[in-house]
Amino acid sequence: MPVIHPRKQTIDVRKFGAEIVITNAYLIYKDEELKQKAIDEGIHKLINFNGPVMTDSGSFQLSIYGDVDINNEEVIEFQELIKTDIGTSLDIPTAPYVTREKAENDLKITLERAKEAVKYKEENNINMLLNSVVQGSTFSDLRSCCAEELSKLNADLYPIGAVVPLMENYRYRDLVDVVTSSISHLPNDVPRHLMGAGHPMVFALAVAMGCDLFDSAAYILYAEDDRFLTIRGTYKLENLQEMPCSCEVCNKYTPDDLKAMEKKERAKLIAEHNLRVSFAELRVIRQAIIDGNLMELVEERCRVHPMLLDACRQLGKYADDLEVYDPRIKKSAFFYTGPESLNRAEVVRHLDKLRNMDKKRDLIILPSSRKPYSKYVSDNLGDFYIYGSEMKLDLKNTDFMVLDVPFCLIPLNIDEVYPLSQNESPKIKDADSLEFIEDFLSEFIEYYEQTLISSKVIEELNIGLYNIHSQSDEIKFIKKDEEKIKSIADYQFGNGVGNALFKGKLKIEKSKKTGKIRHVYSDGELIANMRASDAFFVLAKEGARRLHEKMEFPENRVIVNKDSEPFAREGKSVFSKFVIDCDTNIRANDEVLIVNENDELLAFGKSLLNYAEIMDFNVGQAIKTRKGF
């Protein structure tokens, strides 16, 4: 949302992609000429913008001057009077690093005013949408408390306020704590607005934390100071020999052309560049969300400045929170770009799966090779080091896994499942990833009575903790399709599901072209299809029945109310507002069962949202139903 100054507007921001803008109601209120015009004609005509308009209440001026000549009820009433689309209560913007006592006192007033604004809106039947601003300075617990209290109100948007000083001073690590502690306590169905975030190099990070909206006057303020915004930082015109991008302004003019212009004309052109860069970055981010590689983009963007990289690493501490919003299945491969990638949801999720999987007696760890590993594993496995009680190896009671960066260990029976085969990492391993793997190995091998580790793996990790054990002729990985499909089902749905789904007389059909498994039948009935792109199963009717029979309520389930039941049985999509409850382990793109309150199986399909979103949203599809019963 570009900030529009009510008296100094020089650029039509709609031309550059703006669909919503923000302006300052308090500045209008204090200027008698503007005030009367806004009352007579409305805010949209005043600033010449026919889309949604948000207005600030004067909190920005309050943060600078310490006082404003208006109270909370007056500013809400005025915003409604000038036909603002989204108004804001008069919160107290508490600067970073103040005393806790001041932060608590300011927060108390902010909450009182937010409640007052909501009450005023409801009692007067006002149509204007309402912001309730999250404050609390740099105290994470106060931010969480404020967000928790505000979420109980009937607000329409939740701005996160008083963060501009953090961004101006490059305190991005603290920004991560402030934003995540706020957003983690806000509902999923209401937009979150990061106030004053106007530099495109922070957009991706902010979106990854859960922010939906940004506002800033940076595009024009930087331009008036001859500064260009880019995703790599800020450039001063005086230091440029080449223009910084390929936008219309940068293609048409040279730095010398701009230097020769009048200041007003030059500032307008640089502002246009700044807007183009900002909206281009938002388009890149939206596409990254669709493709499933937002965190990869964040890691790339955060490498432009050490303090941003610091923030990216701080975000890794919230990996468990981020995992909830990360689909298990994506369109793009996983790219390891550095140690920060070790905290991504895909890695966290896989390691948890490994810890909780059913394990055999022995473990054999092989070096990585060409993917998929199970297809190219060598018959000559070389020498091994042994850990644990040395005993005769029982291949039927042995797990075969490949050492991998960043997923540590990949069982050969599930190595084609996304993203275990659909990933790339540098051949030259960094110290952080090797230490990460070594730490996980030292923990994981304790689950087994005997672990054989390839000598090549030991050399790669540069450790010597084990006694040598020469390979015997019996060490050989034997590919078994039946064991493979059961292992994948366990990995996808939960331990024991493979045996429950694939029982009876099995028939496994493969693609004649690729040799990959395509369909699995049991006693002549289709149980599941395997997607070629990610090796996950798509259930058929009998597969859904068997999964429902195996898993305890409410696992893998979405529970709908009576109104939705007949539509689900007909195979129609399930909308969020009809969902009573669901399994907390559901992520977007998961295969799920649709049941009623009595756990009767109504249908099955693909979840479009995670469990938190399903439960919070009151509009839109939650499950794309495949078939009903």
Q: In which residue are the tokens 């793997």 written?
A: 437
Under DSSP, is residue 325 helix (H, G, I), strand (E, B) or coil? coil
Question: Catalytic site residue 439?
Answer: no
Q: Is residue 146 annotated as involved in ligand binding?
A: no
The letter for the amino acid at 202 is V
Q: Is 245 annotated as a binding residue?
A: yes
Q: Does 211 count as an annotated binding residue?
A: no
- From CA 463, how far away is CA 457, in angstroms rounded? 9
- The DSSP result for 3-26, as a single string, is B--TTT--S-GGGGT-S-EEEEHH
Rounded to whole angstroms, the Cα distance separating 571 from 579 reads: 16
Q: Is 302 annotated as a binding residue?
A: no
Among candidates 597, 589, 600, which has minimal Cα distance to 626?
Answer: 589
Contact yes or no for 475/364 (Cβ under 8 A): yes
From 40, 56, 362, 415, the catalytic residue: 56
Cα three-residue angle 377-327-342, rounded to 5 degrees = 60
247 assigned to a ligand binding site: yes
For residue 321, the cross-strand partners are: none
Q: Residues 320-326: contacts with CB within 8 Å, 24+ apart?
A: 320/348, 321/180, 321/184, 322/208, 322/295, 323/348, 323/349, 324/587, 324/610, 324/611, 324/612, 325/210, 325/588, 325/610, 325/612, 325/613, 326/295, 326/587
- H helices of 369-496, in order, are 373-376, 431-444, 455-461, 481-493
CA dist 489 and 495 (Å) reads 8
Q: Which two tokens stand for residue 80?
A: 């409604």
- Residues that are catalytic: 56
Binding residue numbers for Zn(2+): 245, 247, 250
Binding residue numbers for substrate: 91, 162
Binding residue numbers: 91, 162, 245, 247, 250
